[in-house]
Chains A and B, each alone.
Chain A
Amino acid sequence: MNDGHAAVTELLGAWALDACSAEETATVEDHLAGCPACTAEADRLGRAVAGLATTVAVPPPARLRGAILAAAVARRPAAGEEASSGYATWVDRFDTLLESLTPAQWRERVVHDWTVQDLVAHLTATDELLVAQLDSADDETLEDHAELDGGLPARRTAAAIGEHRGRPPGRTRAAWRAQADRLLQDVGEPGALDRQVRLADPRLPRQPLRTALVQRLFETWIHTDDIGGVLGGPPTPPDERHVALIVGFGVHLLPAALRLAGADRRPRSARLVLVGPAGGDWTISPAVQRAPARPPDATVTMDAVEFCYLLGNRRDPDSVPHRVEGDPAVAATLLRAAATLGCD
């Protein structure tokens, strides 16, 4: 089948200079997604084009710097210390909730076939994946285990649940809390937040500890909400500033989650519009985009808090309230990938 390789080759120079029509640009980029030879040539031409830009550099007016940094942070808050204080907040809330439970409530089923006690054991196991990395001076500690696949958190969870069943619930709670406190102590060390660590799913790219802490915050929140729901209480959605952190975490890992789902074989981009106080607007693609200005193939609009529940796999990707414009298959792939970013 002729996919227009020759025609695309002829257009590559003009394309690298943004001198093609919109239709030709789309043709070239569709072709590049599946042609390593043309991609290599495009990268070579791109390096020459990048050189051209240096010849016309002019410093912008000084006032622009502050305005631009402020506009950026208004769109996506800086992480800073927010992640560790947010995590500490949810550790306290979770602990307070556990403290209030009767022995019968500890045996209530929460999610999957897990009781409250199983759920706490699960949280302890996934927290431990992070704590073990911080406690070790050697960054590569987990590399030695020949188990760095997506099933790692599930195996650790199963082991922890087996270990804790039959123990007094107070001991399960104390073990979780002691480890959470150790984690909070570790993150207070100077420079700790920048340390590169693995997330619960070790197949995802390593992240700075501040990002991994958002995942801990997120998981501790969602289990607080899980247990609260079983006890008949109202939902406990995250605070607005925590929604912003969780949304940021999800949006930044979605491209990697899409790649794990194999969605980069025919990369399509989607615009994600999250509404609500901590919402925003992002373009997400499993591929590295040569063309950031190209229109997305689908736009998904939904509530930012609902998106947090979706990330925790507490909403069904097909039925979570959302609106799609454009290609429904692209939107569905995005929502399903989002639901894989939780920890259970």
Chain B
Amino acid sequence: MEQLQSSHPRWDKEVCERLVAGDEAALGELYDELSPLVYGLAARVTRDWAAAEDITQEVFVRVWENPQAFDPARGTWRSWLGTMTHRRAVDWVRRSAARRRHTADAAPPIAVPDPEETAVASSVAKSVQAAVDDLPAAQREAIRLAYFDGQTYRQVAETLGIPEGTAKSRLWQGLRRLGARLQAEGIET
């Protein structure tokens, strides 16, 4: 039987069908392919390795329990798992910020190595990084605060000292520009 690559749209569909059918090997394959993305993203946003493990487990168990929530016609497993992971990581960041406010602790810097230093640089990742580096600095910074630090656009506005409307439009314009560039280069995310 032909081996499909994860970059191939048919791989997404085939894995989905096998998961729905209860094929455990399909979950292993999905894990091998995308656990670095899930774990790395969760660690980058939460800056907490234990939280990253919990989120990784939650995401893959959820996919196994509910594979039909994924629609291969609308996107890739990579983007689906990225969305699931990011939501959970951002929730974790906001919950722990609320906890700290509640207990009046000063936000302790969490001693974990910056995942960016140990990142696995795939060819897609390199192209995306190059596209991000080419964004206007104001858009790049807004996206970094929102996506990688888990800030709301209101917090982004506050951090950068800009109006909320400006923060919203920088995020939107930055993503549009990034998306257009990736599409022009034929990079499938």
Contact = CB atoms under 8 A, between A and B. Distances in A.
Contacts of B118: 58
Interface in A261-285: 280, 282-283, 285
A44 B124 contact: no
A6 interface: no
Nearest to B39: A60
Interface string B77-92: 0110011111110110
A69 B24 contact: yes
Question: Which secondary structure characterizes the binding site on chain B?
Answer: helix
Contact of A17 (B75, B143, B189): B143
A233 to B, nearest CB: 32
A228 interface: no
B36 interface: yes
B108 to A, nearest CB: 22
B23 interface: yes
B43 interface: yes
A97 interface: no
Interface string B20-37: 111110011001100111
A59 B78 contact: no
A23 to B, nearest CB: 12
Nearest to A245: B22
B171 A71 contact: no
A14 B147 CA distance: 9
Given A18-B86, A72-B61, A49 B169 contact: no
A67 B57 contact: yes
B115 interface: yes
B18 to A, nearest CB: 8
A60 B32 CA distance: 10
Interface stretch (A161-169, A178-186, A288-296): A288-296
Contacts of B27: 69, 72
A136 B164 CA distance: 63
Interface string B60-88: 11101111111100111011001111111
B173 to A, nearest CB: 7
A288 B71 contact: yes
Interface string A39-82: 00001111111111111111111001101110111011111100
A17 B128 CA distance: 16
B10 interface: no
Contact of A52 (B68, B143, B183): B143
B9 interface: no
A251 to B, nearest CB: 8
Nearest to B52: A60
A210 B22 CA distance: 9
B74 A43 contact: yes
Contacts of A290: 83
B4 interface: no
Interface string B161-189: 00001011111111110110011000101
Given A52-B132, A210-B21, A68 B40 contact: no
A60 to B, nearest CB: 4
Contacts of B189: 47-48, 50-51, 54
A344 to B, nearest CB: 24
A207 interface: yes
A56 B179 contact: no
Contact of A18 (B39, B57, B78, B150): B150
Given A17-B146, A78-B24, A54 B125 contact: yes
Contacts of B20: 207-208, 211, 252
A184 to B, nearest CB: 19
With a 10 A CB-CB cut-off, give which of A52, A56, A252, A293 has the most chain B CB atoms. A56
B64 A58 contact: no
B96 interface: no
28 contacts: A13-B172, A14-B153, A14-B168, A18-B150, A45-B176, A47-B182, A49-B86, A50-B78, A52-B148, A53-B85, A54-B124, A54-B128, A55-B132, A56-B41, A56-B119, A58-B118, A60-B35, A60-B36, A72-B65, A78-B22, A78-B24, A80-B22, A194-B23, A196-B17, A210-B22, A288-B74, A291-B83, A292-B69
Interface of B: 17-18, 20-24, 27-28, 31-32, 35-41, 43-44, 52-53, 56-57, 60-62, 64-71, 74-76, 78-79, 82-88, 90-91, 115-116, 118-120, 122, 124-125, 128-129, 131-132, 143, 146-148, 150-154, 156, 165, 167-176, 178-179, 182-183, 187, 189
4 residue pairs, one from A and one from B, having the closest CB atoms = A13-B172, A79-B22, A50-B79, A48-B179
